């Protein structure tokens, strides 16, 4: 283990890298360096012993991604840190996660004319899809599904190759962080200021109140009613297939909604306490 005296040196070296990647003119000459050290940087972001170094490395990796130099698997490894036990790490990676989320939304909406409602639906769908996907990867990393090779290979984007097991993610299980806080709640806290659907509990509730199972039921049971006789309310309540939430995704969005309501209540309570705080004046006698 490196001594405490080595930490400031490492931290300054990492911060210097951020400055280098901010200079577009240098990127071409940094390709070899980047490819060589990306695995080490991701390893440091996931499990370095010094919190400050981890946060600084995440910023470097975000700068590298700004030049489209990270592979999909590397991006996923970094996104898993939104469940990290360290709040500062979760917060540091939130901007990176926002970029991945926005990219997913843009892909859904590409080439289509959409309404504000569609954009809301797509935003929530993207949050649900990503959290479910990362949750499955994390379950495999933590050994939850270690015996199911088919599940490992079926996770989209991993090609059956799971990321290394970051030490700070070992205690984040499906039931929560060391039994104290839910995994989804940690993500909501981290993404609150960066990913719009996460802090819009009213919008989340509106999406959940739509019938996301109607199409699946019609397909399985067979809806023989003529189109003209279908209930108008059913049409209005139905969700476009592009934004339809699968069962796992609905469950995750319910968890997001609960966490968002708790956060909103806490914020409101904090603001109320600030307003109610009496002003005190020291009088000289």
pLDDT over 50 at 190, yes or no: yes
Q: Which residues contact 75 (CB under 8 A, 6 or more apart)?
A: 65, 96, 100
Percent of the chain with pLDDT over 90: 48
Q: For the segment 42-95, what is each residue's pLDDT rounded down to a tens digit? A: 999 999 999 999 999 999 999 999 889 999 999 999 999 999 999 999 999 999
Give pLDDT, residue 274. 75
Please say if the pLDDT value at position 180 is more than 50: no
- Residues 30, 20: contact at Cβ < 8 Å? yes
The dihedral through the CA atoms of 127, 129, 134, 140 has a sign that is: positive
Contact yes or no for 227/199 (Cβ under 8 A): no
**pLDDT at position 200:** 93
**Cα torsion 70, 73, 76, 81: sign:** negative
Q: Of 25-34, 210-219, 229-238, 239-248, where does mean pLDDT reach its minimum? A: 229-238
CA–CA distances in Å: residue 111 to residues 104, 106, 107, 114: 14, 9, 9, 9
Dig out the tokens for 145 from the structure.
């599904």
Residue 159 has pLDDT above 50, yes or no: no
Work out the pLDDT band at 26, boundaries 50, 70, 90: confident
Query: Which of 73-82, 116-125, 139-148, 167-176 is predicted least confidently?
Result: 167-176
What tokens were used for 126? 């993207």
Residue spans of the domains in the chain: they are 113-267
216, pLDDT greater than 90: no
Gap between the Cα atoms of 273 and 276, Å rounded: 5
- Tell me what pLDDT residue 257 has: 96
**273 against 158, higher pLDDT:** 273
Q: What is the pLDDT averaged over residues 205-221?
A: 70
> Distance (Å, rounded) from C-alpha 82 to C-alpha 75?
12
- Is the sign of the CA dihedral 192, 48, 72, 60 positive or negative? positive
- For 244, list phi and psi in degrees, rounded to 5: -65, 135
pLDDT at 224: 47
C-alpha to C-alpha distance for 46 and 79, rounded to whole angstroms: 10
14, pLDDT greater than 60: yes
Task: Give the residue from 222, 252, 245, 270 showing the smallest Cα distance to 83.
Answer: 252
Query: Tokens standing for 147?
Result: 């015996």
- Tokens representing 267? 């914020």
Give tens-digit pLDDT for 226-277.
444 445 445 555 677 888 999 999 999 999 999 999 999 998 888 777 776 6
The whole-angstrom separation of Cα 98 and Cα 132 is 16
Q: Tell me which of 108 and 282 has the higher pLDDT.
A: 108
For the segment 136-156, the average pLDDT, to the nearest whole number, is: 57
- Residue 263 CA to residue 268 CA, distance in Å, equals 9
Q: What is the chain's mean pLDDT, rounded? A: 79
The 3-class secondary structure across 61-128, one letter per residue, is HHHHHCCCCCCHHHHHHHHHHHHCCCHHHHHHHHHHHHHHHHHHHHHHHCCCCCCHHHHHHHHHHHHH
Q: Quick one: how far is CA 135 from the chain centroid?
A: 10
């Amino acid at each position: 283990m490196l001594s405490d005296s080595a930490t400031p040196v490492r931290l300054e070296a990492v911060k210097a890298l951020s400055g280098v990647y901010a200079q577009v003119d240098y990127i071409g000459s940094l390709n070899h360096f980047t490819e060589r050290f990306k695995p080490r940087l991701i390893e440091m972001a996931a499990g370095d012993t010094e919190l400050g170094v981890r946060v600084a490395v995440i910023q470097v990796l975000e700068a590298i991604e700004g030049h489209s130099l990270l592979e999909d698997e590397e991006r996923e490894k970094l996104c898993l840190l939104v469940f990290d036990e360290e709040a500062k790490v979760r917060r540091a990676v939130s901007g990176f996660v926002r970029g991945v989320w926005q990219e997913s939304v843009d892909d859904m909406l590409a080439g289509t004319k959409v309404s504000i409602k569609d954009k809301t639906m797509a935003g929530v769908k993207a949050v649900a899809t990503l959290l479910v996907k990362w949750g499955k990867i994390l379950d495999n990393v933590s050994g939850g599904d270690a015996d199911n090779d088919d599940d490992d290979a079926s996770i989209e984007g991993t090609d059956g190759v799971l990321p290394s097991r970051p030490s700070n993610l070992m205690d984040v299980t499906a039931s929560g962080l060391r039994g104290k806080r839910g995994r989804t709640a940690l993500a909501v806290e981290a993404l609150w200021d960066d990913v719009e659907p996460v802090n819009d509990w009213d919008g989340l509730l509106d999406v959940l109140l739509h019938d996301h199972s109607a199409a699946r039921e019609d397909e399985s049971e067979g809806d023989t009613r003529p189109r003209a006789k279908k209930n108008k309310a059913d049409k209005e309540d139905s969700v476009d297939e592009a934004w339809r939430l699968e069962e796992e995704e609905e469950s995750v969005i319910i968890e997001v909604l609960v966490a968002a309501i708790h956060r909103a209540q806490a914020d409101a309570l904090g603001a109320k306490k600030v307003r109610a705080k009496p002003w005190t004046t020291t009088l000289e006698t």
